[in-house]
Amino acid sequence: MKKNIVEKILSDHIIKGKSGKGTEVGIKIDQTLTQDATGTMAYLQFEAMGVPKVKTELSVSYVDHNTVQIGFENADDHKYLQSVAAKYGIVYSRAGNGICHQVQLERFGKPGKTLLGSDSHTPTGGGIGMMAIGAGGLDVAVAMAGGAFYLTYPKVIKINLTGKLKPWVAAKDVILKVLEIFTTKGNVGCVFEYGGSGIDTLSVPERATITNMGAECGVTTSIFPSDKITKEFLKAQDRESDWVELIADVDAEYDQVVDINLSELVPMAATPHSPGNISAVKDLGEINVDQVCIGSCTNSSYKDMMSVAHILKGQKLHPNTSFVVAPGSKQVIENIIKDGGFESIVSAGARIAESACGFCIGNSQSPKTEAVSLRTSNRNFYGRSGTKSANAYLVSPETAAAAVITGKFTDPRDLEKMGIEYPNVKMPAKFYIDDSMFIFPEDAKGNGEIYRGPNIGDPPAAEPLKDKISGCVTLKVEDQITTDHIIPAGSKMKYRSNVPKYSEFLFEIVDPTFHDRAKEIKESGKYNIIVAGLSYGQGSSREHAALCPMYMGVKAVLAKSMERIHNANLINFGILPLNFKNELDYDGIDQADELEITEIKETLKTGKNLIVKNITKGTEFEATYDLSDRQKEILLAGGTLSFIKKKNNKGE
Ligand code: MIC
Ligand code: SF4
């Protein structure tokens, strides 16, 4: 049978279930990555599994999110992560070494392998031909312990690229075009596989920009073939032996094929407050720009930085604009210093931030009130920058650099009129490489003891699912509620290891009274229930968006539709993810309504729809669910950790 790339990797990795669209399969995970903000909880859960060493080919623990270190919390977490890595055979990437996805691509990514990361932008690895998937920390912990990762066998959508990007049009514009076509909703259970003659014109970092932001479409992952361009990149990273060819068979079949002619693309922007609101830069008109932020896992590679450096050479920052640059890794910094780019960026007036997530997650560089902020990152959700009234736009490094000079939204093609030439940056044949900021397990000086500062608390346990849920609609929200709405990151992210404290900020952006109401309902002996619109739980993989609600007594989420990672996280923490059979029933529920769901166990067994009674309104309606038998068992056990313990006790 002719296979596409996704089918090739999956058939090599399926260890549970049988391939077949829409069915649940378990795959073997070759590599894992965690970052610090999701990592502490992932490793606390891994510890609870009682496995002496990780069972993957490679597991890496990065510190890149919580690097601000105001107060002891972040430093405590870093030390905890370092000691866990030393004990369990995990590579530790110290703060300062760079953003997980950029560094993984540089130093560890291998074509044809599977990578599971506790971060939604793990698909960046698809740029190098990996099947790289984002998941909640608990799923990553299970994979480190040697367990399968479960996913719905995906539909594969081929994105057929032809032509070649024109000068000043970038990889970011390609993925913004993809977002314009597919939007941020309705792509759950799909994978984007890139192909066509146009891919021969895209370097690995450009491909990685494209696969990185596939996460915003809600697909399981995105992947490029592994070809001679991949080989050149690995050679430049001194890793040629990691290369294998991976291309789709001629006549491989796809569920859908979408053509994009690269030659026809123009500079694009995602306008506030969604990566799916796409416009051509030209159509945005004159908008003054208060802040420009260049960096993040989407656009912080050598090529991105050198393009910005060439554009800014001899230029100065516009007086009304603030400008920050965060190169993606220590390797990027060292290489752009060597090749003269760093000097041009600093000389233009950039504030150099450390190689970390920083501005992207709103834990530094929050813009001024009502600012227009141009960012090369991947998310512009409401409030994510740390300034609620700010308007963040997502653009390419070229468009961002143009605004640095002019102080307003500028199509970068117009720079030529100002005598600035297109920076046709070539990839180096060989990068300068220094791996000294990794601590490899064989070099770790740990004594097997785990460091636990006061910021580290045990993850709370969920309670088993009862036959009846009597609850109150604590919150009713609209469509496209992101995990940033559910539980903010930014300045609150330092409480990731302290669930009771972090839970105080649940839904803070939507309704700051949520926490107190939920507490009251929980203390009254009732459950909390969330009612939501379409595409609930978009965005991040943060399991705290399920873990903290679980801690506050949320037992069911009733939505018009839900995103993949969040749905899996809810199940992992014993929260029932339900959908309206008839979306109009959403309109018949109000906040504070009392709901009752009965005969849950028997109904789940038969697969029939659950009946939800609205006691307040005296009405009832049907709720559907999409749960495999394994997921039903997890819910009944009260979450994945309890499920694993139960199986271990039975010796399964
Ligand atoms: C994000 O971009 O939202 C984050 C912060 O990287 C998250 C992970 C987290 O919340 O820790 C993600 O994308 O998964
Ligand atoms: Fe970090 Fe931003 Fe990338 Fe998330 S999207 S991993 S916060 S750089």
Q: CA–CA separation, 4 vs 251, rounded Å?
A: 9
CA of 546 to the centre of ligand 1 (A): 14
Q: Which protein residue's CA is at the shortest distance from atom 1 of ligand 2?
A: 357
CB 90 within 8 A of CB 63: no
Ligand number with the minimum distance to the CA of 119: 1
Ligand 1 geometric centre to CA of 356 (Å): 12
Instruction: In whole angstroms, give the CA distance from residue 491 to residue 71.
Output: 11
For ligand 1, atom 7: residue with the closest CA: 540
Question: Would you state the pLDDT for residue 15?
Answer: 97
In order of their start, the domains of the chain are 5-264 (3.30.499.10), 268-414 (3.30.499.10), 469-649 (3.20.19.10)
Per-residue model confidence (pLDDT) at position 172? 98
Residue of 357, 363, 376, 378 best suited for mutating to test ligand 2, as the one with most atoms within 8 Å of CB? 357
- The pLDDT assigned to 135 comes to 98
Which-ligand-closest: CA of 493?
1
- Shortest-distance ligand to the CA of residue 542: 1
Q: Relative to the alpha carbon of 541, which ligand is closest? A: 1
Q: Which of 212, 378, 496 to mutate to test the pocket of ligand 2 (most atoms within 8 A of CB)?
A: 378
Residue 102 CA to ligand 2 center (angstroms) comes to 10
Nearest-atom index, ligand 1, CA of 565: 14
Distance CA 541, CA 38 (A): 8
Ligand nearest to the CA of 296: 2
DSSP string, 43-88: HHHHHHTT-SS--SSEEEEE--SS---SSSHHHHHHHHHHHHHHHH
Q: How far does the centroid of ligand 1 lie from the alpha carbon of residue 541, in Å? A: 6
Q: 5: part of which helix (H) or strand (E)?
A: helix 5-13
> Nearest bound ligand to CA 376?
2
Distance (angstroms) between ligand 1 centre and the Cα of 504 equals: 19
Q: What residue ranges line ligand 2, CB within 6 angstroms?
A: 65, 99, 119, 121, 296-297, 357, 360-361, 377-378
Tokens of 19: 């391939």
Q: Which atom of ligand 1 is nearest to the CA of 360?
A: 2
Residue 119 CA, ligand 1 centroid: distance in Å: 5
Q: Cα-flanking dihedrals φ and ψ of residue 199, to 5°?
A: -70, -25
Instruction: Give the closest ligand to the alpha carbon of residue 359.
Output: 2
For residue 539, the ligand closest to its alpha carbon is 1
Which H/E stretch holds residue 606?
Answer: helix 600-606
Q: Would strands 438-439 and 31-35 be described as parallel, antiparallel, or unpaired?
A: unpaired
User: What's the confidence (pLDDT) of residue 652?
Assistant: 67
Predicted pLDDT of residue 134? 98
| Cα–Cα distance, 304 to 73 (Å, whole number) | 33
CA separation for the pair 537, 212 (Å, rounded): 18
- What pairs with residue 293 in β-bridges? 324, 375
Q: What is the whole-number distance in angstroms between the Cα of residue 538 and the centre of ligand 2?
A: 14
Rounded Cα distance between 551 and 555, Å, is 10
CA of 461 to the centre of ligand 2 (A): 28
Distance (Å) from CA 562 to ligand 2 centroid: 22
What number does the ligand 2 atom closest to the CA of 35 have? 6
601 CA distance to ligand 1 middle (Å) = 34
Provide the 3-class DSSP secondary structure of residue 525.
coil
What's the rounded Cα separation, in Å, for the pair 359 and 365? 5
Distance 360 CA to ligand 2 centre (A): 6
* Residue 296 alpha carbon, nearest atom of ligand 2: 8
Peptide bond into 273 cis (omega under 30): yes
Of 483, 473, 575, give the one whose Cα is nearest residue 528.
473
Q: How far is CA 167 from CA 173, 179, 205, 422, in A?
A: 12, 21, 17, 6
Gap from CA of 136 to ligand 1 centroid (Å): 10
Which ligand has the shortest distance to the CA of 375?
A: 2
Specify the ligand 2 atom closest to the Cα of 295: 8
Mutate to test the pocket of ligand 1, among 485, 542, 564 (most ligand atoms within 8 A of CB): 542
Q: Which residues of the chain have pLDDT under 70?
A: 652
Protein residue with its CA nearest to atom 12 in ligand 1: 540
The answer for residues whose C-beta is within 8 angstroms of residue 549's C-beta and 6 or more apart is: 486, 506, 528, 530, 557, 573, 575
Q: What is the pLDDT of residue 446?
A: 77
CA of 111 to the centre of ligand 2 (A): 23
Pocket of ligand 1, candidates 541, 547, 565, 566: which has the most ligand atoms within 8 Å of its Cβ, to mutate?
Answer: 541
Tokens 């830069």 locate to 281
Instruction: Give pLDDT, residue 623.
Output: 98
- Please give the pLDDT value at position 76: 95
Q: Which residues line ligand 1 (CB under 6 A)?
A: 37-38, 65, 119-121, 134, 361, 379, 489, 539-542
Q: At what angle do helices 330-338 and 100-107 cross, to 10 degrees?
A: 70
**From ligand 2's centre to the CA of 120, what distance in Å?**
9
* Minimum CA distance residue for ligand 1 atom 10: 542
Q: Which atom of ligand 2 is nearest to the CA of 378?
A: 5
Tally DSSP H helices, then E strands, for the chain: 20, 27
pLDDT of residue 359: 98
Q: Please give the pLDDT value at position 80.
A: 97
Q: Using CB atoms within 10 Å of the CB of residue 224, give its burial: 0 to 12 exposed, 13 to 18 middle, 19+ buried.
A: buried
Distance 55 CA to ligand 2 centre (A): 27
**What torsion, rounded to 10 degrees, do the Cα atoms 12, 13, 16, 21 define?**
-70
For residue 466, the one-letter residue type is: K
Instruction: Measure 605 CA to ligand 1 centroid, in angstroms.
Output: 35
What pLDDT, on a 0 to 100 scale, did the predictor assign at position 421? 97
Pairing of strands 291-294, 322-325: parallel
Ligand 1 center to 404 CA (angstroms): 27
* Closest residue CA from atom 3 of ligand 2: 297
From CA 347, how far away is CA 316, in angstroms rounded?
7
Ligand 1 atom closest to the Cα of residue 379 is 2
The residues near 482 (Cβ < 8 Å, ≥ 6 apart) are 379, 381, 537, 538, 539, 540
